[in-house]
Structure 1
């Protein structure tokens, strides 16, 4: 932040331009950033939380992740735009012409700025070491999600979990090799623009529908209330943490119900029933309404765009594909409607697995 032009970059970062709120792409980018930054709809949060004790303070964990992610993102933004302000000062170009998204920011703009800083070798080592550690800790959660999903679906391979982990690493390594070829940037752009865009929004919406509307929001609240009925759950400390968040300060207005959880459930229910599905659906509609073919130089041919859409449809197709498979494998004494209704009910042995 002591670099020449850094303050101009911070001003560009911190001073809002409210006219941009009318641009649907801003809302799409914001929704995508929240999902990516918090890891929502990628499976990692559910996988890692499955290692918690049954009576775990879920409210404290949710607030801790939210606050840590927000502060980290804000700090990262300050560092990035301070450097971009310096680069704008050095090049004489306005900041909006210097700003590049995605790989352009990490591998073009930032390295170019580092080369112009004092002791560039030192800063380069720190910067690329940061990128390596950032990628490594993300991959840990992704690998754990894949391994646990396979191990729970096929319990026979659970004793061979280490071998399964090595196998997943090798397969994913081989799938990533095309990124290192001359066409690697194009493959990266396809995966980034299609495989990690609206598909995450669809998965998040389906998760919300499955839990809130299929499993039932009252069942969910009862489950959470059962989990927090424990001497280990310090509600006084949790409410102190809540006071630091304006969202939960607003939520505390709805003081209804006999238990601490139910006093806050009106706010949560409003989020789960109204705001979350509405925001996600709106973002997806904006995305599809404003869809344009991927802009690169040279531009992608039509067949590459088709490959991109196929990449995007692979994760989404797993949901209807699994439903169709379960309906086909149903008991023949059941009708299709009865089978679907049965699939929407908790299993007979569903219940808590206490510590």
Structure 2
């Protein structure tokens, strides 16, 4: 079955934009800003978007569009490296087994947002302990008289108590166990949310991209509208200017720290989903003559603008709550699950009409999560269907059902009482260091083994123009170097996994590294197999033969369009 094509090109751009923004913009970006000097982080972030993210995104768009295929078949460009595609699919499958659980948690909080009194606002619930502390909207603390808790470090023993928001998260939402050795039972309310999540997913994707391409307008537009509401309302609250100033004003002394540059580079590259297989898969549905160079620039720059837009809204609210509490903005430094399910609820409880803001916040997170999940499922489905060229529509539904069912069943372990520990372990290792390895190899294979000259010819065959020489230089030299720096720093800065005060045992770390290797092992295995099967009476001849693109990769002259000039940069 031939790949469906987008109804129009805007569907494609909006889908990629939704995927790149995702819930990570709300969950990770504020943390990186606070940890790396606010506005100082934005400078290298924008720089690396221009010299790193745009070339990498364009590369994946070009080969995906030219191949009209998914993340594995695209490597007909250099068959021994099909292991990159297999690794991307395995990595995506493992990632989305727990990402849909994240959506389930958001759904659970969304349900409780309609309570008359938000349950994370006070300590009068059945699950609260004598150590519970709550903060009213006038900054009055209960069960504590001498200090304000740093809610950005809620799991630390240095705090004199546990906030009501953290107790709701740990003792009501998760009913958390003592550790990885004690998984406990399934949290059935979360199982119900997980079922709803996967029904939504199936209904969203079973008709293909022509339908999901329409729905994505809603899920992308809603967060933009709601973030605008947050920004306008937040700007009118006392203290908001301090938060926005912290976000915008660059502390230039921070730029002397190499970690700021490395983390900005990492976020710029990974926020666009480089080397995840998504851009290749989505681009495989483009018209063959689409100018994806413009698309790459539009998507990347819009992603940067959106990140700044979200940051202004977030820090305006943070500034107000910090003003009420008498603490600095940095006191809210947190990341990941703590930021989404402890700090955010704590902040929302401090606002006027907290139920309204809570509903709006979790609607925003839900729509952003959908924008990330739907293309992610398509990565896996496209990889399977590429190996079933004559698949019927009914068989395509079956493939999608099996993929979603497998993700759902595996996700049950994450909603057990000890599931947060399993999820943390998988999250710690599933992307590290796999994505960096895939990205480095991707740039080296296309830039050096296949060659930028042949890539230029392919681009010429698609829309009759050639990429600027600066882009080719970035693909060959700059991008591999950037990914190598990120990879090296990640290894240097590696620390064993932990969740709050819980440190994972040594055997769990071993399992974590095994999870990392699952997506990397296919690369040497498939490379060896392809070279071994290639024709030739010596290793050198076999290797040379194997590295040549498959005949199916090269387009016939009838498919080519005449060259009519150099594609000039738009910036």
What CA distance in whole angstroms lies between the structure 2 residues aligned with 1:277 and 1:74? 27
Counterpart position of 2:204 = none
**Which SS does the other structure have where 2:360 is aligned?**
helix
What CA distance in whole angstroms lies between the structure 1 residues aligned with 2:255 and 2:508? 32
Find out whether 1:288 has 2:491 as its counterpart: yes
Match of 1:131 among 355, 359, 365: 365
Counterpart position of 2:264 = 30
Given the superposition, is the C-alpha separation of residues 31 and 312 from structure 1 closer, same or farther in structure 2, using an over 3 Å criterion? farther
Match of 1:166 among 401, 422, 434: 401
Given the superposition, is the C-alpha separation of residues 64 and 341 from structure 1 closer, same or farther in structure 2, using an over 3 Å criterion? same
What CA distance in whole angstroms lies between the structure 1 residues aligned with 2:432 and 2:367? 23
Counterpart position of 1:300 = 504
What CA distance in whole angstroms lies between the structure 2 residues aligned with 1:294 and 1:20? 27
Report the CA distance between 1:196 and its aligned residue.
2.2
1:1-355, aligned counterparts within 5 Å?
Answer: 1=234, 2-155=236-389, 157=391, 159=393, 160-229=395-464, 261=466, 265-296=468-499, 297-328=501-532, 330=533, 334-352=537-555, 354=559
* Residues 535 and 542, structure 2, Cα contact 8 Å, conserved in 1: no
Report the CA distance between 1:331 and its aligned residue.
5.3
What CA distance in whole angstroms lies between the structure 1 residues aligned with 2:494 and 2:360? 37
Q: Which runs of 4+ in 1 moved over 4 A?
A: 156-159, 331-334
Report the CA distance between 1:104 and its aligned residue.
1.3
What CA distance in whole angstroms lies between the structure 2 residues aligned with 1:162 and 1:122? 38
Counterpart position of 1:238 = none
Given the superposition, is the C-alpha separation of residues 310 and 343 from structure 1 closer, same or farther in structure 2, using an over 3 Å criterion? same
Which structure shows the higher helix fraction?
1
Report the CA distance between 1:68 and its aligned residue.
1.5
Given the superposition, is the C-alpha separation of residues 266 and 203 from structure 1 closer, same or farther in structure 2, using an over 3 Å criterion? same
What CA distance in whole angstroms lies between the structure 2 residues aligned with 1:207 and 1:347? 17
Given the superposition, is the C-alpha separation of residues 8 and 224 from structure 1 closer, same or farther in structure 2, using an over 3 Å criterion? same
* Residues 57 and 228, structure 1, Cα contact 8 Å, conserved in 2: yes
Report the CA distance between 1:18 and its aligned residue.
3.0
**Which SS does the other structure have where 2:502 is aligned?**
coil
What CA distance in whole angstroms lies between the structure 1 residues aligned with 2:516 and 2:257? 24
* Residues 41 and 203, structure 1, Cα contact 8 Å, conserved in 2: yes
Given the superposition, is the C-alpha separation of residues 69 and 331 from structure 1 closer, same or farther in structure 2, using an over 3 Å criterion? closer
**Which SS does the other structure have where 1:54 is aligned?**
coil
**Which SS does the other structure have where 1:117 is aligned?**
coil
Report the CA distance between 1:222 and its aligned residue.
1.4
**Which SS does the other structure have where 2:335 is aligned?**
coil
1:162-214 superposed Cα distances (whole Å, 9 cap, x missing partner):
11001101111122222222223222322332212332121111111111111
TM-score (norm: length of structure 2)? 0.53
* Residues 414 and 420, structure 2, Cα contact 8 Å, conserved in 1: yes
Larger relative contact order (CA 8 Å, sep ≥ 6): 2
Which range moves more in the overlay, 309-318 or 344-353?
344-353
Given the superposition, is the C-alpha separation of residues 161 and 24 from structure 1 closer, same or farther in structure 2, using an over 3 Å criterion? farther
Report the CA distance between 1:326 and its aligned residue.
2.5
1:228-260 superposed Cα distances (whole Å, 9 cap, x missing partner):
22xxxxxxxxxxxxxxxxxxxxxxxxxxxxxx6
* Residues 54 and 352, structure 1, Cα contact 8 Å, conserved in 2: no
* Residues 266 and 486, structure 2, Cα contact 8 Å, conserved in 1: no
What CA distance in whole angstroms lies between the structure 2 residues aligned with 1:41 and 1:203? 6
What CA distance in whole angstroms lies between the structure 2 residues aligned with 1:88 and 1:185? 29
Report the CA distance between 1:59 and its aligned residue.
1.5
* Residues 24 and 286, structure 1, Cα contact 8 Å, conserved in 2: no
**Which SS does the other structure have where 1:51 is aligned?**
coil
**Which SS does the other structure have where 1:155 is aligned?**
coil
Report the CA distance between 1:303 and its aligned residue.
1.4
Given the superposition, is the C-alpha separation of residues 38 and 337 from structure 1 closer, same or farther in structure 2, using an over 3 Å criterion? same
**Which SS does the other structure have where 1:147 is aligned?**
helix
Report the CA distance between 1:47 and its aligned residue.
0.8
What CA distance in whole angstroms lies between the structure 2 residues aligned with 1:90 and 1:334? 77
Q: CA RMSD in A?
A: 2.2
Given the superposition, is the C-alpha separation of residues 333 and 210 from structure 1 closer, same or farther in structure 2, using an over 3 Å criterion? closer
What CA distance in whole angstroms lies between the structure 2 residues aligned with 1:19 and 1:321? 47
* Residues 534 and 543, structure 2, Cα contact 8 Å, conserved in 1: no
TM-score (norm: length of structure 1)? 0.84
